[in-house]
Amino acid sequence: GEFKFDLDTPVYKGNVSCNTGLFIDGKFVDAVEGGTIDVINPSTGKILTKVAAATSKDVDIAVAAAKKAYKTSWGLKVPGTQRGELLMKLATLLEANIDEFAALECLNVGKPWSESRGFDMKLTLQTLKYYAGWADKVHGKTIETNEQKLAYTRHEPYGVVGQIVPWNYPLTMVSWKIGPALATGNVVVLKVPSEITPLTALKLAGLIQEAGFPPGVVNIIPGYGATAGAALSLHPDVRKIAFTGSTLTGRKIQEASAKSNLKVVTLELGGKSPNIIFDDADLEQAVKWAAIGIFSNSGQVCTAGSRIFVQEGIYDAFIKAFRQAAAGINTQTGDPFSEGTIHGPVVSQTQLDRVMGYIDAAKAEGATPIIGGERHSLTDGFFVKPTIFTDCTPEMKIVQEEVFGPVAAVVKFKTEDEVIEMANDSNYGLACAVFTENVSRAVRVSNALEAGMAWVNCNVTTEHNVPFGGYKQSGYGRELGAYAIDTYTQVKAVHINV
Ligand code: NAD
């Protein structure tokens, strides 16, 4: 089937459309068992369309198609230059349709246009172009040996790679996954950006067809995690799973690997990133970045600076200005397609209930909501006001657990040693941010924090050519940059007797 929607908005006028089937072996098809998923508009709570829901039977078909494509028309059989050209063609097609993609993402995820068009789509495009450029630059080393031998290494693809992504950056996450996988010669079965936000990935499937990728090289199948996702992670012909999502699901994927064929697993999981503001920080910058860190994408950001540690000397001034920033964002909450909107709804009813549950728990544990702490009564959509809790203590749920919503937990601190200890007191280790004008302290503290990414005097910025990933229970393996190339290739050492 086909989804079509007319938009007549201040930022976008025209149609948005995509196919609603499973994209397998170069064609759109219905699910074998005929199941569908309702796709909801989070700004209104109303259903937009239904898309096909894959079950294990469809996963089997998609994996078989991918396996065949790997043998016949991809892998190292196809020169890197050719793989790169196809990826570049895909990027060019995406660029030509970028506004429509941005609008479709706003509709399905509730992202403000400014974020969808201004951030997500830009990063998606850069990522695809970047990995298109990598496709003919992956090579091994020659190694001197003691024996009369020549040794060299080859960086070979895994073959069929299963990819599972969440709903917070649907299309962007797809580009992070397929870009390096295809550049290095793998074939892909992608369970699309979570069952609740499949539309832009399905639209991209149409462009993959148009670009002329051989059938089966990329398969894109919407489906529920417990069925399609689980089947993919258990499949004996899948050699690697690349997963982005919650820590809970990450564990299940690793278990599935252990139970099946010991497929390689890379995990990008949740976070509870500390954002540390020292007395000597530039107040205006610290406030600006703290707000971006926790309120952009309605806080549904894995690297969100959700624990804000503020030193006692700057505390009062910071809280006053941070509260003002949240109040400003609250006045710019609303329809994703309005020009001034910078704060949209959270993605679903489930997510809304989860965020409100954390807000209630924080109140019950004695934290003080100095602003927000409730739903926005704007529309029937899933809007939560930008919320700041003060008087937070390290053992509170709001400080320990990932909320994935626009909710900041502020903790006051005295010394550098104390804040390093508190910041590291977390199962997560995805990212951290440090605000200080003292360069020695910036280096000392960012070195001491247990996190895969550290920002100094900025926050949550992501570049397509800089590695992205976590420590501890935030996962392992790196996406983006040259590092992702390593996670999609296995090394073969060849010894030649001379
Ligand atoms: P989730 O783990 O519930 O779902 C993620 C994906 O996994 C979905 O596509 C889902 O269908 C699938 N899934 C669910 N159960 C499965 C199973 N048993 N087997 C296989 N697949 C299954 O997470 P979510 O709620 O969609 O996303 C939010 C989470 O993602 C947050 O914890 C966030 O921190 C994390 N996240 C991490 C990063 C990162 O790069 N570190 C980026 C974005 C989001």
Is the predicted pLDDT of residue 86 greater than 80, yes or no? yes
> Which string of b and e fits 286-300 if b means at least 16 CB within 10 Å?
bbbbbbbbbbbbbbb
SS3 of residue 305 by DSSP: coil
As a whole number of angstroms, the distance between CA 411 and CA 276 comes to 10
Residue 251: pLDDT band by 50, 70, 90 thresholds?
very high
Q: What residue ranges line ligand 1, CB within 6 angstroms?
A: 164-168, 191, 194-195, 224-226, 229-230, 233, 244-246, 249, 252-253, 268-271, 302, 402, 404, 430, 470, 475
Rounded to two decimals, the ipTM of the complex is 0.94
As a whole number of angstroms, the distance between CA 277 and CA 395 comes to 20
Q: What is the pLDDT of residue 379?
A: 66
Residue 46 is encoded by which pair of tokens? 């109303």
Least confident of 98-112, 196-210, 368-382, 469-483: 368-382
Residue 250 is encoded by which pair of tokens? 């990450």
Work out the number of other CB atoms within 10 angstroms of the CB of residue 180: 30
- Mutate which of 51, 127, 164 for ligand 1 pocket (most atoms within 8 A of beta carbon): 164
Is the predicted pLDDT of residue 378 greater than 80, yes or no? no
Active-site annotation holds for 268: yes
Mean of the per-residue pLDDT values of the chain: 96
Please provide residue 240's backbone torsions phi and psi, each rounded to the nearest 5 degrees. Answer: -150, 145
Least confident of 80-84, 342-346, 419-423, 435-439: 342-346
Residue 24: pLDDT band by 50, 70, 90 thresholds?
very high
Q: What is the pLDDT of residue 146?
A: 85
The angle subtended at Cα 412 by Cα 407 and Cα 415, nearest 5°, is: 135
Mean pLDDT of 327-331: 95
pTM of the predicted structure, to 2 decimals = 0.96
Chain segment 399-449, per-residue pLDDT in tens: 999 999 999 999 999 999 999 999 999 999 999 999 999 999 999 999 999
Percent of the chain with pLDDT over 70: 100
Chain segment 453-496, per-residue pLDDT in tens: 999 999 999 999 999 999 999 999 999 999 999 999 999 999 99
